[in-house]
Amino acid sequence: MKPFPLITVRRALLISAVALAAGCAQQPSSTPKEPVRLMTSGGFTAAHKLLAPQFTAQTGLAVESAYGSSMGASPTSIPNRLSKGEKADVVILARGALDDLAARGLVRNGTQIDLVRSAVGVAVKKGAPIPDISSEDKLRQVLLNAKSIAYSASASGTYYETQMLKKLGIHDQVMPKSKKIVTERVGTIVARGEAEIGLQQVSELLPIEGISYVGTLPDSVQHYTIFSAGTASTSTNPQGLEQLLKYYTSPAAAKTIRDTGLEPVAKPR
Query: Pick from 90, 77, 78, 76: which is nearest to 36 by CA?
Result: 90
d(CA 150, CA 188): 10
DSSP character at residue 32 = -
pLDDT the model gives residue 213: 98
Q: What is the 3-state secondary structure (H, E, C) of 130-160?
A: CCCCCCHHHHHHHHHHCCCEEEECCHHHHHH
Pick one of 1.10.10.10, 3.40.190.10, 1.10.150.530, 1.10.150.650 as the CATH number of 120-221: 3.40.190.10
pLDDT the model gives residue 76: 87
Q: What is the pTM of this model?
A: 0.80
H/E run at residue 259: helix 251-259
How confident is the model over 116-142, as a mean pLDDT? 98
Residue pair 256/50 in contact (Cβ under 8 Å)? The answer is yes
Cα 200 to chain centroid distance, Å, stands at 9
| Domain pair 6-116+227-264 / 120-221, same fold | yes
For domain 6-116+227-264, say whether CATH 3.40.190.10 is its number. Answer: yes
pLDDT tens, 229-259?
A: 999 999 999 999 999 999 999 999 999 999 9
How confident is the model over 2-30, as a mean pLDDT? 47
Q: Where are the domains of the chain?
A: 6-116+227-264, 120-221
